[in-house]
Chain A
Amino acid sequence: MKFIIQQAAAIKKMEILISELCKSLGVSRTTIERWIRQGKLPVSKKGSTYGFHARDLKNWAAKNHISLNLEPRPVQGPETEEEISLSTALETGGVYHQIDTGPDVPSVISACVERIKAVPDDCRTDLVRQLVKREEALSTGIGGGIAIPHPRTPLEYLDQPMIAACFLKNPVNYHALDNQPVSTLFFILFPELKFHLYLLSSLSFCLRNRQFSEFLKTCPEQSELIEKIDALHLAQKM
């Protein structure tokens, strides 16, 4: 007698909610209800609610070769992709003013990299080499006095993606698309490729804004810059 009651309690405990079952089987509630009505699912109807028994269900799924995942499925999709906001990246990277450099591209890059604090010291030469190589392939000067130097491969020695904004003391000929001298550089440095495209696209979204480009000419401080960027992104979301 006691045994039976215990068993009953166990049965109750194993009940699975219909909504969970919908997810595990990947079908709609209507389908589940129809299957129950047609007697295709091992299910007990208790009043107006249904109870499922996990063990029966597993047997049933095995017998019918239907994939049944009673544990919650790993959620996928773009929502859960790690995203990093432009302002956070900029905070990590920092803003640097009045950089004094030589007249050519490699010297500009090495001077800027020297200043970026978040880059480990023993990696600077490697980073400069990579960035210069990238510039040789195709200039990152996008016009309007702005360049976005970035390496082609992820940098394993970084913990987080970052953007460093460097304002040069004197504009330099950077072989930009519009042949204008460059005075502002945004370094995009990233440990994984997926950050690269995202940061690049949000940055270029800001740079397309004329007001923002004008604002950059004033060589703003880090806090001002971040504020402006946040305002822009907020406006986009609206």
Chain B
Amino acid sequence: MRKLKQIYNIFYAKFFLFDDRLVLMTAGAVVGVFAGLAAVTLRLSLAAVLEFFQPYRQYAWAFILPGIGALISFLFLDKVMREGAGHGVPEVIYAVSRRGGLLRLRSTFSRLISSFFTIASGGSAGPEAPVVMSGSAIGSNIAKFLGLNDRQRMTLVGCGTAGAIASIFHAPVAGLIFSVEIILGEWKFVNIIPITIAAVAGAQISEAIIPKKELFQHHTFSIFTGDILGSIGLALFTALISVIFTRMLRTVGALAKRTPVSPWLRAMIGGCTVGTMGIFMPMVLGEGYHPIIEMVDGTFHMAFWLIFIGIFLKIFATAITLGWGGSGGIFAPCLLIGSLTGVVFYKAMMFVFPNAAVASEGTYALLGMAGIMSGVMQAPLSSIFLIAEITGGYEAILLLLLVSSISSTLSHIIEPSSFYFKDLIERGEFMRPGTDARILSDLSLNEIINTNYTTVSENMIFRDFINKIRNSDRDHYPVIADKTGDYLGMVRVSNIRKYALDPAFYDMIFLNQIMDTDMVTASFDDDLHDVLEFMETFNIDHIPVVDHHRFSGMISKARILDLYRRELIMQTNIQ
């Protein structure tokens, strides 16, 4: 038994410690499979239920369906699962950047189920964000079970994301890139391999379960030179639409918070509003993959102005579904809005230049999707590969690149933070590895503080103090109240020079007469960022930390630099 344990220790030391690649790859594959399963389950059940509800949508009372769905979805999430608000992706990013990728076990299925209710009943939302949340929570909890450390856990969270996206779209590359670009935010060798494996595993799982019914059929697109001009125009248009979309999402969400009705009623109202829109334009309901497929195929027939209205209706429907209590993501709505935008633009272009030699309507639907996705998410790589992969439109890759880059740049200028990051940036929680904010948040005052200081009493006579500093190399002496032990002020040797050189003062004054009481202090509630700000504002190199009136130690700029540098090295230089 003991020998076994020793052998285990060696394996542990060899494979689990720093050379953990094997472990991460294996765990990554497992995570990918489970995340893939979660995605497939949601997709299949959505497909089944949407089909089941199809006949009922014709009735006049059908507008109530999404209302009930949103209500159930809200109640499930809030009362049964007691989950936090929001669609989940910022939560995953937050967990990765601040909490070492720790996610709760309940997150593995809570959003999956609640978004199922929302989308199946007709709410305008996508299943992708919930699946991403599930996948990453699966990764996090497997890491927790294996007792892995933060770095390894974050990689597995990335694996979960990649597996989920890869599975729901049959797009392993898009899964990999989405995971690295949006969730992890760092391209590192140690991350990429397990995540790739997870993405492949996720894609294979969905391939195995839903074999030939691919989401989008592959097409061949023929591209002409004139399309370059066309796609630049489209990019401008998509940038505009994506900014409107992002703004709308926020405004409607903020409006919901101000509406004085109880949250469950709010969810109901939101759902019914969407349902009412759905009666006039069924396209806005659900995740909307069908119209997208038609548009890419070029078999979508609708009047120009109807499509144009459709764009805005879909935007509004999505905003109201998500903002008023429904649950789901913006991925699929983005795709629909994008393809609508592309088609509208194509039709407009055809109207103005009827004889231009340009690609098909389907190509423009494709480009529109890429434009809107990169505009809203501001992650151009993810959207390029996602669109190219799900439609097989690699011939159009040049135009995809063009549209994506222009659209994301333009919307970035107008709306500097993307939909996923906006909340985090506003809360100051957006911390990519290797950035200043991340390092400062990692270093706690506890680690920097120097507690090796002798305190002196307020009633000490100056002569005794002079004798005290004679045998010490410190420059700062915190003065402590006799009775309570509270911090009163600071005596700095450099500040009392004029008294120290005049022996006449020695028996005349007490320390509380010469101490510096205005010195700015920090407390353990402050983070390092605040402390540095204090130092900058008051132009000081040392700052005492006073916690609950007690002196705890000093923080010096020299020490911060020392640790900051190490931390920077560690965060940017791991293999």
The answer to whether A and B interact is yes
Chain A residues with CB under 8 Å of chain B are 1, 4-5, 7-9, 11, 26-28, 30-31, 34-40, 42-46, 53, 56, 60, 63-66, 77-78, 236
What secondary structure prevails in chain A residues at the interface with B? helix
Apart from the given pairs A1-B3, A8-B9, A236-B467, 10 other A-B contacts in the complex at a CB distance below 8 Å:
A5-B7, A11-B9, A30-B446, A34-B444, A37-B149, A39-B148, A39-B150, A39-B152, A63-B575, A65-B569
- Contact: A64 with B3, CB < 8 Å? no
A43 to B562 Cα, complex, angstroms: 23
**B447 contacts A34, CB within 8 Å?**
yes
Q: Does B151 interact with chain A (Cβ within 8 Å)?
A: yes
- The distance in angstroms between the C-alpha atoms of A110 and B101, with both chains bound, is 82
Task: Compute how far the CA of A28 lies from the CA of B451 in the bound complex, rounded to whole angstroms.
Answer: 11
Given A30-B446, A34-B447, does the pair A8, B566 have CB atoms closer than 8 Å? no
B residues near A9, Cβ cutoff 8 Å: 6
Using an 8 Å CB-CB cutoff, how does the interface string of B125-162 with A read, 1 for contact, 0 for none?
A: 00000000000000000000001111110000000000
CA distance A5 to B152 in the complex (A): 28
**Bound form: Cα–Cα A27–B545 in Å:** 18
A77–B442 alpha-carbon span in the complex (Å)? 31
In the assembled complex, the Cα of A28 lies from the Cα of B10 at a distance in Å of 29
| Interfacial chain A residues near B574, Cβ < 8 Å | 40
In terms of DSSP, what is the predominant structure of the interface of chain B? Answer: helix
Task: State the CA gap A143–B442 with chains docked (Å).
Answer: 62
Q: Tell me if B48 counts as interface (CB < 8 A to partner A).
A: no
Task: List the A side residues contacting B100 at CB < 8 Å.
Answer: 37-38
For the complex of A and B, the 3 pairs showing the least CB-CB separation, nearest first, are A39-B151, A39-B149, A8-B6
Interface status of B563 (Cβ within 8 A of chain A):
yes
- B17 engages A30 (CB within 8 Å): no
B573 within 8 A of A: yes
B18 near A42: Cβ-Cβ < 8 Å:
yes
Binding site for A on B (CB under 8 A): 3, 6-7, 9-10, 12-13, 16-18, 100, 147-152, 442-444, 446-448, 467, 471, 473, 562-563, 566, 569-570, 573-575
The 13 sampled A-B contact pairs (Cβ below 8 Å) are A4-B6, A8-B7, A9-B6, A28-B447, A28-B448, A30-B446, A37-B149, A38-B149, A40-B570, A64-B569, A64-B570, A65-B573, A78-B471
B444 partner, pick from A1, A30, A78, beta carbons under 8 A? A30
Known interface pairs A28-B446, A31-B447, A42-B18; A53-B473 also in contact (CB < 8 Å): no
Q: Are B10 and A8 within 8 A (Cβ)?
A: yes
Would B149 and A11 count as touching, CB distance under 8 A? no
A-B contact count (CB 8 A): 78
| Residue among B100, B149, B151 with the highest chain A CB neighbour number at 10 A | B149
Q: How far is the CB of A121 from chain B (nearest CB, A)?
A: 39
Complex CA distance for A60 and B570, rounded to whole angstroms: 10
Contact A31 to B563, CB < 8 A, known contacts A11-B13, A40-B574, A63-B575: yes
Give CA–CA (A53, B13) in the complex, Å. 9
CB distance from A141 to the nearest CB of B (A): 21
Minimum C-beta distance from B11 to chain A (A): 10
Question: In whole Å, how far is A14's beta carbon from the nearest beta carbon of chain B?
Answer: 10
Provide the residues of chain A in CB contact with B18, threshold 8 Å. Answer: 42, 56, 60
In the bound assembly, the distance between CA atoms of A64 and B575 in angstroms comes to 9
- CB of B113, distance to nearest CB on chain A (Å): 32
**A56 to B100, alpha carbons, bound, how many Å?**
23
The residue on B at minimum CB distance from A67 is B566
Q: Which residue of chain A has its CB nearest to the CB of B444?
A: A30
What is the chain A residue whose CB lies nearest that of B5? A8
State in angstroms the CA–CA spacing of A1 and B473 once bound together.
Answer: 57
Query: Which residues on the A side are within 8 Å of B7 (C-beta)?
Result: 4-5, 8
Which residues of chain A have C-beta atoms less than 8 A from B575's C-beta? 63
Q: Are A37 and B9 interface neighbours, CB within 8 A?
A: no
Cα(A169)–Cα(B570), bound, Å: 74
Known: A37-B149, A64-B573. A7 touches B447 (CB 8 A): no
Which residue of the partner chain B has the closest CB to A9? B6
Question: With the chains together, A8 CA to B467 CA distance in Å?
Answer: 56
B17, A40: Cβ atoms under 8 Å? no
- Rounded to whole angstroms, the CA-CA distance of A30 and B444 in the bound complex is 9
Give bound CA distance, A27 to B152, whole Å. Answer: 23
Which residues of B have CB within 8 Å of A78? 471, 473
Contacting residues, chain B, for A66 (C-beta < 8 A): 566, 569
Known: A8-B7, A56-B17, A77-B473. A44 touches B12 (CB 8 A): yes
Give the Cβ gap from A12 to chain B, nearest Cβ, in Å: 8
A44–B17 touching, CB < 8 Å: yes
